[in-house]
Amino acid sequence: MTLTNEVPPPAVAQAAPHRQPVPVWLYIIGAVGIIVAIAAVVTPGFLTPDNVRAILHTTAITGIVAVTMTPMTLSGNLGSLSTQQSSVLGAVLFATLVSRDWNVVTAALAVLVVVVAVSVAQGLVVAAGLNPIITTLAAGSVIAGSVAAASRTTSISFDGASTGWLAGSLLGVPASVFYFLAVTVVVTWLMRKTVLGRRVMLSGSNRETARLTGVPQGATVIWVFVILGVGCTLAGLIGSSQVGYANTLLFGSMTFDVIAAVVIGGTSIRGGYGSPLWSAGGALLMSVINNLLLLHGFPYGVRILIVGLLVVGSISALQLLPGRRAL
């Protein structure tokens, strides 16, 4: 009797290629997209170059901030309620420096340092474990109060001659659109292809697992706030350059527009699921809807009502996704 110690070859589990389930939001966004397409065809003046340029122009600043806030949302830290105030800080500081004859590039770099530092300060508090909404809400009023006190709530004008690279246009397309595209590409790449991106996604989808597998929680949160700070800086620079002045009233509805864009784009506000690219799409979709309603003469109230309902719809739909409920 011969004993064979031949072991049957192990059944190699065919590793299923990593695929995300077909997301419900895709159907919703698809349906909305079709509605928008039909509306676009029947709305005179929608597909004119001027109108398309106007849509892109209004999308750019909200879009930049929405895209750069998405990593924060993906990391499970909900969102920031101080994006408007941070962008105003950037705008007012930039206007002040440029009006005092600073070199534009030096001024822009100084603004970047300050706004990112303010963002990181909030990141440190959030990284310690505090609620991000409350932290950014309180920080927002501190930033707004400080900026208003420092600028005495006046408008600071500056000579726009040297800020063409921020507010000009290339081939008929506003510069802000190129910044929006660049930011979207860079942040999407950061989230998809870098270690930081993977850490952000893991922290957002399962904080405890992330901690146990050695993801540096604090550093991840702080990097996320650095990205947001860069976005608010860009918004401040571009926004103030476009109008040639800065005051505390700029970017009036930014804070909630940005959150709306991220959510409408389909990123789960509880983290771990979504993409900066989707937020760019969300911002664009919001602009298109706003523009359509505007062309049809709908007043401001109807427009925010519809945006609000879309946000509620997106949040609810994402919540009902299979497997997302247990988070």
Partner 1 sequence: MRALDLLRPYALQIGVLIVLWMAFTATTPMFGGRGTLYAVLQSFALLGLVSAGLAVTFICGEFDLSVASMAVLAAVVAVNTAGLGLIPALLLGTLVGAALGALQGGMIARLVINSLVFTIGSQIAIRGLAYVLSGNGPSSLNDLAVSDPLLLTWGPLSIDTIVAFVVFGLVGIFLAFSRTGRELYAVGGGRKEAIAAGVSIRRVTITAFTICGACAALAGAMAATKSGGISPDSYANLILTAPAAILVGGFRLEGGRGNIINVILGVAILSVLTVGLGGRGVPAYVVDLFVGSLLLVVVVGEFAIARWGSRIRPHRSFATQES
Alpha carbon distance 176, 188 (integer Å):
18
Place of tokens 């909900």: 78
Q: Which stretch binds partner 1 (CB under 8 A): 50-58, 172-180, 234-242, 268-276?
A: 268-276
Alpha carbon distance 135, 140 (integer Å):
8
Give the one residue of 39, 133, 181, 186 binding partner 1; rule: CB under 8 A: 133
Q: With respect to partner 1, which residue has the nearer C-beta, 76 or 197?
A: 76
Q: With respect to partner 1, which residue has the nearer C-beta, 56 or 318?
A: 318
Ranges within 279-318 binding partner 1 (CB under 8 A): 299-309, 311-312, 314-316
Q: How far is the CB of 261 from partner 1 (least distance, A)?
A: 12
Q: Is 235 in the site for partner 1 (CB under 8 A)?
A: no
Q: With respect to partner 1, which residue has the nearer C-beta, 52 or 327?
A: 327
Q: Is 259 in the site for partner 1 (CB under 8 A)?
A: yes
DSSP label of 81: S
Give the one residue of 140, 174, 197, 274 binding partner 1; rule: CB under 8 A: 140
DSSP label of 161: G
Joined together, the tokens standing for residue 317 give: 């739909």
Number of residues that bind partner 1 (CB under 8 A): 54
Give the one residue of 146, 154, 194, 209 binding partner 1; rule: CB under 8 A: 146
| φ/ψ (deg, to 5) at 2 | -105, 125
Q: Report angle CA 281, 136, 179 to the nearest 5 degrees.
A: 35
Q: How far is the CB of 279 from partner 1 (least distance, A)?
A: 15
Give the one residue of 105, 149, 182, 195 binding partner 1; rule: CB under 8 A: 149
Q: With respect to partner 1, which residue has the nearer C-beta, 140 or 174?
A: 140
DSSP label of 325: T
Contact indicator for 170, 178 with CB cutoff of 8 Å: yes
Contact indicator for 208, 49 with CB cutoff of 8 Å: no
Q: Is 142 in the site for partner 1 (CB under 8 A)?
A: yes
Between β-strands 245-246 and 169-170, what pairing exists: parallel, antiparallel or unpaired?
unpaired
Give the one residue of 17, 44, 49, 129 binding partner 1; rule: CB under 8 A: 129
* Element containing residue 97 per DSSP (H, E): helix 83-99
Joined together, the tokens standing for residue 108 give: 């822009």
Q: Is 319 in the site for partner 1 (CB under 8 A)?
A: yes
DSSP string, 153-200: T--EE--GGGGHHHH-EETTEEHHHHHHHHHHHHHHHHHHHSHHHHHH
End-to-end CA distance of the chain: 57
Q: How far is the CB of 262 from partner 1 (least distance, A)?
A: 10
Q: Which stretch binds partner 1 (CB under 8 A): 24-32, 139-147, 161-169, 235-243?
A: 139-147
Contacts of residue 73, defined as CB under 8 A and 6 or more positions apart, other chains included, come to 79, 204, 262, 267, 268, 269, 271, 274
Give the one residue of 56, 66, 78, 254 binding partner 1; rule: CB under 8 A: 78
Ranges within 190-219 binding partner 1 (CB under 8 A): 207
What is the pattern of x (binds partner 1, CB under 8 A) and - over residues 236-255?
------------x-------
* Element containing residue 294 per DSSP (H, E): helix 276-295
Residues that bind partner 1 (CB under 8 A): 76-79, 125, 128-135, 137-142, 144-146, 148-149, 153, 207, 248, 256, 259-260, 263, 269-271, 299-309, 311-312, 314-316, 319-320, 325, 327
